[in-house]
Amino acid sequence: MSYKQQISKRRTFGIISHPDAGKTTLTEKLLLFGGAIQTAGAVKSNKIKKTATSDFMEIEKQRGISVATSVMGFEYEDFKINILDTPGHKDFAEDTYRTLTAVDSVILVVDCVKGVEEQTRKLMEVCRMRNTPVIIFINKLDREGQDPYELLDEIEKELSINVRPLTWPIGMGSGFKGIYNLYEKNLQLFKSGKTKINDDDIISISDLNDPLLDKQIEKGNADKLREDTDLIEGIYELFDEELYKEGLLAPVFFGSAINNFGVREMLNTFIKIAPEPRPRPTDKRDIDPYEDKFSGFIFKIHANLDPNHRDRIAFCRVVSGKFERNTFYHHSGIDKKLRFSNPTSFMANDKQILEEAFPGDVVGLYDTGNFKIGDTLTEGEKVQFRGIPSFSPEKFRQLVNNDPMKSKQLDKGIRQLTDEGVAQLFLQELENIKIIGTVGDLQFEVIQFRLLHEYSAACSFKPLNYFKACWITTENKEELEKFILHNKRFVTKDKDERLVFMAESAWALKNRQENFPDMEFHFTSEFKTDQEYIKQLY
């Protein structure tokens, strides 16, 4: 297969949703159809092997939520599909945001019972900022949910995007009979609890006036489907692939992921319409995937993916060219060449060594501490990919060491965990304290759990009354010195030795901005994102 064919066969997407909408279950069913696993079941079912679930951290299994982004790849119909399953919990929105920089499209899961929820809106705002193409999967049709038309109206209104149904449900809850595929003109009958894939329940019906439809789903249901189809054609615009790729039109699919139903219809359409790898912006130019030379960026770091080996893996999205094992590449952050002898591909927490990777692929690179989120790898060109910032935290606590004999383990652990982007670390030199900044409270629980179980370091947290952490820069050296002198208690440094002002309140921040006009106060680590952007994200 030629280089261009390799790229055209890649589909890299993220799955996003509000917690409990069925995102991780849908991920498993996609793996099922890709042949990566043989039997499907509920996320917590013992029928699923460890490698079949994307929630691999112990705390995720205990809490039943995803707190880390999982990377999975499989082949389907001659396409190489890369799934990035993201955290749904709002406290990990920043990790989801960074993950969305590494995908070319998104599948948004909506619970048909609850409809559009708070986190769904926030995640969709991020997609709209990037014009990311979105497919919507309305899940849990085996439960009594909202009317499909009302759901679509709610999605259009709440998410500010036009929709076009490509499948349509026949009944709902106890009366759920199946779905009709408006895109491929066939009927799939619903049977609860199926765990094996077969084609017995898919019936080709291109003409809805065919008497076979009445026989399969009873005349009343058949007449209702005919009415619905006519109405859909009348009130929703025709599906336009280009509008979808521009992020302006979202195709909608209905189904029940836990019952392995309606997923294949979406997957079959997805590989036909979803965009192949796209160009990515850098500080100097846009890099096209069809360029010959390799480039990529680190969008996630995960320590102790395998707790038995204490490994640390950096996830690299290939942007252009071909990545090859045992080849030297230039690391933008440390201005050195690095060679990777054991690059890996992923199926949840199952890893295998790969020899080469193409644009759209995600490569796991074993890391000894060289990488930070946002670092760029190239064949020599000195560029920096943009759009992968850290955001100003909203929760602040002082890290307290509960066991002085484990100080080294605690220091190593907190630095590695904050390198992953789970939280941010600020060092206050005046009183020699470590400050942890997060988006939400759950992150502190995750940090405490992982420090204890992965690094044998016991810690606790002391609340701190800060409003916002702002990176500060200025070309006026005298004003900087004056600022530090007058704000010693509130000036810290991040892990990269950059100065950060810890504002106690909105008034305190405004006061410093007015009194030090030559100082710039930044709300993201890239120093380019405006405050309105932050308000939208959080």
Q: Is 471 helix (H, G, I), strand (E, B) or coil?
A: strand
Rounded Cα–Cα distance for residues 314 and 348 (Å): 15
Q: Is 127 helix (H, G, I), strand (E, B) or coil?
A: helix
* pLDDT for 41 beyond 50: no
What is the DSSP-derived secondary structure letter of residue 256? Answer: B
Q: Which pLDDT does position 60 carry in this prediction? A: 53
The secondary structure of the chain in percent helix, strand, coil, rounded to multiples of 5, reads 30, 30, 40
Contact criterion met (CB below 8 Å) for 82 and 71: yes
Residues of the chain with CATH 3.30.70.3280: 395-537
What is the DSSP-derived secondary structure letter of residue 384? Answer: -
Rounded Cα–Cα distance for residues 182 and 288 (Å): 35
Question: Under CATH, what is the fold of the domain 395-537?
Answer: Alpha-Beta Plaits (3.30.70)
Contact criterion met (CB below 8 Å) for 350 and 73: no
The more confident residue out of 349 and 147 is 147
* pLDDT for 46 beyond 70: no
Residue 224, token pair as written in the block: 């209702």
Output the CA angle 425-315-55, nearest 5 degrees: 85
Residues 6+ away with beta carbon under 8 Å from 43: 24, 25, 28, 53, 55, 64
* pLDDT for 44 beyond 50: no
Q: Which pLDDT does position 64 carry in this prediction? A: 47
Residues 6+ away with beta carbon under 8 Å from 80: 6, 9, 10, 11, 73, 358, 360, 361
Q: Which pLDDT does position 125 carry in this prediction? A: 79
Angle between the N-to-C axes of helices 93-100 and 118-130, in degrees from 0 to 180, rounded to the nearest 10? 30
| Dmax (CA) of the chain | 85
Q: Is 433 helix (H, G, I), strand (E, B) or coil?
A: strand
Q: Which pLDDT does position 61 carry in this prediction? A: 54
Q: Which pLDDT does position 407 carry in this prediction? A: 93
Contact criterion met (CB below 8 Å) for 41 and 32: no
Contact criterion met (CB below 8 Å) for 344 and 313: yes
The radius of gyration of the chain from alpha carbons, rounded to an integer in Å, stands at: 25
Residue 101, token pair as written in the block: 């920089």
Q: Write out pLDDT tens, residues 98-140.
A: 788 899 999 999 999 999 988 788 788 778 877 899 999 999 9
Confidence of residue 68 (pLDDT cuts 50, 70, 90): very low
Q: Write out pLDDT tens, residues 452-494.
A: 988 999 999 999 999 999 999 999 999 999 999 999 999 999 9
Q: Which pLDDT does position 152 carry in this prediction? A: 96
* pLDDT for 525 beyond 50: yes
The more confident residue out of 200 and 489 is 489
Question: Under CATH, what is the fold of the domain 280-378?
Answer: Rossmann fold (3.40.50)
Q: What is the pTM of this model?
A: 0.80
Average pLDDT of span 318-336: 94
Rounded Cα–Cα distance for residues 101 and 82 (Å): 14
CB atoms within 10 A of CB 366: 16
CATH of domain 3-273: 3.40.50.300
Contact criterion met (CB below 8 Å) for 423 and 453: no
Residues of the chain with CATH 3.40.50.300: 3-273, 280-378
